[in-house]
Amino acid sequence: MIKGKTVILGITGSIAAYKAADIASKLTQAGIMVEVIMTEPATRFISPLTLSGIVGRPVVTSMWELSSEFSIEHVTLAEAANVVVIAPATASTIAHLAAGTADDMLTCTVLATKAPVIIAPAMNDNMYNNPITQENIAKLKARGFIFVEPVYGRLASGKIGQGRLAEIDNILGIIRSNLGQEGDLAGKRICVTAGGTKEPIDPVRFIGNRSSGKMGWALASAARNRGAEVLLVSAADYLPETAGIQVVKVTTAAEMAKAVSNAVKSADALIMAAAVADYRPKDYAVKKIKKDDTSLTLELLKTPDVLMEVKGNLLKVGFAAESENLIANARKKLMGKKLDIVVANNIADTDCGFGSDLNRVTIIDKNGRVEALPLMSKREVADKILDWVVELIFEGGI
């Protein structure tokens, strides 16, 4: 669980400094205590007032003007940190860190901390690619510093190059994955599936379904944030961020079956959130089918049932998408597919489900326990499901 943890957010003097406000805001909203340390040049790009307003705490800008709350040695701040992140990090700050100098509050804190340090550089592409900067980065990487590479795009100079601060979602994903390392799923390997499979008819068309992949992604990222090693087998088109998650992309049910059967060999749990096609076209037309006739008949063949085929000593969680007799039908799937947990959702609900960020589910386990949850975000549903997974994994000694 990452709530209640402490992140030190270091901000240095780059045009991208304004983006740090977004990082501070999202971390704060997630219940994380954010201590902001700004270098003097950073305060020229964004006001400390903005940051302190966002995190609801004073911001440290100097070694010499500590507020009463910060009348502590920098060492105390460094010790309180679960993660230190510097975003954006300039070439100059990276050079100072590589040289081990401690001439401002940020470099002092980094030198004094034992927490993981994540660095997200942002600078002109020539500065970034300069061998001096690259040598500094290599030196820090060798010491265990975690870098979130800058991306290609339009730079402050108007030029296109590699130097833009990485996507905020990516930086947040890496922070979350580091914060979760000692969570209740630490040391467990979890395979999650997401999205709807697509069964091709011809080069243009396919048989698909309305699954967006949001529930599967929520489960994968929540499991990562609780310390699990996560493998995500995804048929979803869009995944917001997958930092620290191993992703295998698939399209069809057959590809998903193959990827899952490989993954489960070493997994402690499989969570099948994907909507797998039950049938696929028998024949694939290599060329686009022309509309010659008034009707067209497709012959469909049954696809493998991925969950049913998975055997072994691992915990199996399935979903049951039902439009009637929710609990009875979900129980049938629990028994029929030899599941440990089934998560039932009523697809007739119009306020949640496919494509939505919300879900209303009932969780049922093999011991007969049932919990009907109210409408909540898919992230919250994911954590509820994982609470059950944790209980059963440790109860069964898996």
Active site residues: 209
Closer CB to ligand CTP, residue 110 or residue 276?
276
Name 349's Cβ contacts closer than 8 Å, sequence gap at least 6. 360
Least distance to ligand CTP, CB of residue 253, Å: 5
What residues have CB less than 8 Å from 113, skipping those under 6 apart? 8, 78, 79, 81, 84
Q: Could you give the CA distance from residue 37 to residue 308 in angstroms, rounded to a whole number? A: 52
Query: DSSP string covering 282-321, please?
Result: SS--SSPPP--SS-----EEEPP-HHHH--SSSEEEEEEE
- The C-alpha atoms of residue 214 and residue 5 are separated, in whole angstroms, by 26
Only one of the segments 38-46, 89-97, 136-144, 270-278 lies at the binding site for ligand CTP (rule: CB under 6 A); that segment is 270-278
Q: Is 212 in the site for ligand CTP (CB under 6 A)?
A: no
Query: In the stretch 326-365, what mask flags binding to ligand CTP with x, by CB under 6 A?
Result: -------x--------------------------------
Q: Is the dihedral of CA 106, 110, 113, 116 positive or negative?
A: positive
* From candidates 8, 274, 341, 363, binder to ligand CTP by CB under 6 A: 274
- The minimum distance between CB 272 and ligand CTP, in angstroms, equals 4
Stretch that binds ligand CTP, among 5-13, 106-114, 219-227, 271-279 (CB under 6 A): 271-279
CB nearer ligand CTP, residue 87 or residue 364: 364
Binding mask 301-320 for ligand CTP (x = CB under 6 A): --x-xxx----------xxx
**Among 383, 381, 339, residue whose Cα is nearest residue 224:** 383
Distance CA(272)–CA(191), nearest Å, equals: 8
Based on CB atoms, which residue is closest to ligand CTP, 81 or 307?
A: 307
Verify binding: residue 321, ligand CTP, rule CB under 6 A.
yes
Structure tokens at 349: 């609900």
Q: Which is nearer to ligand CTP, 27 or 343 (CB)?
A: 343
Q: How far is the CB of 360 from ligand CTP (least distance, A)?
A: 16
Residue 242's identity, in one-letter code, is T
Distance CA 391, CA 326 (A): 24
Among 120, 219, 222, 276, binds ligand CTP (CB under 6 A): 276
Note the residue count of the chain.
Answer: 398
Indicate the residue among 25 and 329 with the shorter CB distance to ligand CTP.
329
Helical packing angle, 214-225 and 378-396, nearest 10°: 50
Residues sharing a CB contact under 8 Å with residue 262, sequence separation 6 or more, in sequence order = none
Least distance to ligand CTP from the beta carbon of 319, Å?
Answer: 4
Residues in the interface with ligand CTP (CB under 6 A) total 14
Please, what is the minimum distance in Å from the beta carbon of residue 226 to ligand CTP? 21
DSSP, residue by residue, 226-250: TT-EEEEEE--S--S--TTEEEEE-
Question: Binding pattern to ligand CTP, positions 224-253, x when CB under 6 A?
Answer: -----------------------------x
- Residue carrying structure tokens 């509309």: 291
Closer to ligand CTP by CB, 282 or 287: give it: 282
CB of 196 to ligand CTP, least distance (A): 10
Tokens representing 283?
């024949």
Tell me whether strands 117-121 and 146-147 are parallel, antiparallel or unpaired: parallel
Residue 278, interface with ligand CTP (CB under 6 A)? yes
Would you tell me which residues interact with ligand CTP (CB under 6 A)? 253, 272, 274, 276, 278, 303, 305-307, 318-321, 333
